[in-house]
């Protein structure tokens, strides 16, 4: 199989990965049925290539059907989905950072950045945002709908993942809008990025700044 990343990109990512701090594992859930999962093979190959670029990264591969217990544990309901988690010895630390679909095109940037955030176990959010997240009493579920050609999408995905790393009550998932058309239709995705909060309580279209997204989360929680 032809490599997906050329040597130039590999070198850039290797240098970026010099800043990885703690061990990080990618849990990939796929399916061998091409009719069910068109991009499983490509997504897995991309993750194999990326995780091979640092000894702090590893990849575990599951089948969404035969590994139902693990799929349930990590709240995975479709393929391809993967979770970026921390690793502490044998213990896997799930921060709620997920991808549904292949992080292709511009979205490759968010993959690399989210690996770094999880590895540092530090969200990099503002003190105000961190303070707000400490006051959360109920769960926040963020789905960021993207397409590979959207240059503003990675910013929205990384922000959602930062929130997930900061708070155990936040889960954040990138959703490739064209790979999951039923979900896109369900939440009336007409432009990307769209951040859907708590299953459609509020939809934010565009790459919202941190403070604006927090306001929208507050609005969703008040509904």
Give 130-155 pLDDT, tens digit per residue.
999 999 999 999 999 999 999 999 99
- CATH fold match for the domains 7-120 and 127-222: yes
Judged against a pLDDT cut of 90, whether residue 1 lies above it is answered with no
Cα gap 118→116, rounded to integer Å: 6
Tell me the pairing of strands 140-146 and 170-176: parallel
Phi, psi of 15 (to 5 degrees): -65, -40
Coil vs helix vs strand at 194: strand
Give 75-94 pLDDT, tens digit per residue.
999 999 999 999 999 999 99
**What pLDDT is attached to residue 19?**
96
Classify burial at 50, counting beta carbons within 10 Å of its beta carbon; exposed 0-12, middle 13-18, buried 19 or more.
buried
Give 5-58 pLDDT, tens digit per residue.
999 999 999 999 999 999 999 999 999 888 889 999 999 999 999 999 999 999
pLDDT (average), residues 107-119 = 98
Coil vs helix vs strand at 65: coil
What angle do the packed helices 153-166 and 210-222 form, to 10 degrees? Answer: 60
pLDDT (average), residues 67-78 = 96
Which helix (H) or strand (E) segment holds residue 180: the answer is none
**Separation in Å, CA 184 to CA 76, 191, 195:** 17, 10, 11
**What pLDDT is attached to residue 42?**
96
Q: Which residues contact 209 (CB under 8 A, 6 or more apart)?
A: none
pTM: 0.97
Cα gap 201→221, rounded to integer Å: 8
Fold of 7-120: Glutaredoxin (3.40.30)
Cα gap 54→221, rounded to integer Å: 39
Fold of 127-222: Glutaredoxin (3.40.30)
Residue with tokens 């591969």: 61
**What pLDDT is attached to residue 28?**
98
Which helix (H) or strand (E) segment holds residue 39: the answer is none
The structural domains of the chain, with segments of one domain joined by +, span: 7-120, 127-222
Which helix (H) or strand (E) segment holds residue 13: the answer is helix 7-16
Judged against a pLDDT cut of 90, whether residue 223 lies above it is answered with no
Give 180-218 pLDDT, tens digit per residue.
999 999 999 999 999 999 999 999 999 999 999 999 999
């Amino acid at each position: 199989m032809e490599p997906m990343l050329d040597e130039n990109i590999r070198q850039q990512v290797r240098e970026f990965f010099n800043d990885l701090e703690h061990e990080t594992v990618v849990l990939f859930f796929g399916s061998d049925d091409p009719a069910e999962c068109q991009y499983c093979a490509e997504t897995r190959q991309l993750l194999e290539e990326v995780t091979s670029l640092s000894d702090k990264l590893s990849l575990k591969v599951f089948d969404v059907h035969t590994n139902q217990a693990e799929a349930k544990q990590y709240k995975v309901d479709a393929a391809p989905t993967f979770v970026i988690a921390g690793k502490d010895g044998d213990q896997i630390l799930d921060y709620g950072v997920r991808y549904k679909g292949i992080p292709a095109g511009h979205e490759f940037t968010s993959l690399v950045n989210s690996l770094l955030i999880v590895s540092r176990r530090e969200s990099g959010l503002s003190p105000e945002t961190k303070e707000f997240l400490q006051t959360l009493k109920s769960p926040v579920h963020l789905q960021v709908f993207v397409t590979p050609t959207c240059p503003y999408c990675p910013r929205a995905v990384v922000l959602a993942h930062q929130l997930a790393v900061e708070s155990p009550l936040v889960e954040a998932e990138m959703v490739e809008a064209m790979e999951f058309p039923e979900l896109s239709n369900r939440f009336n995705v007409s432009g990307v990025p769209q951040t859907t909060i708590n299953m459609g309580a509020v939809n934010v279209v565009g790459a919202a700044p941190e403070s604006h997204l927090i306001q929208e989360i507050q609005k969703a929680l008040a509904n």
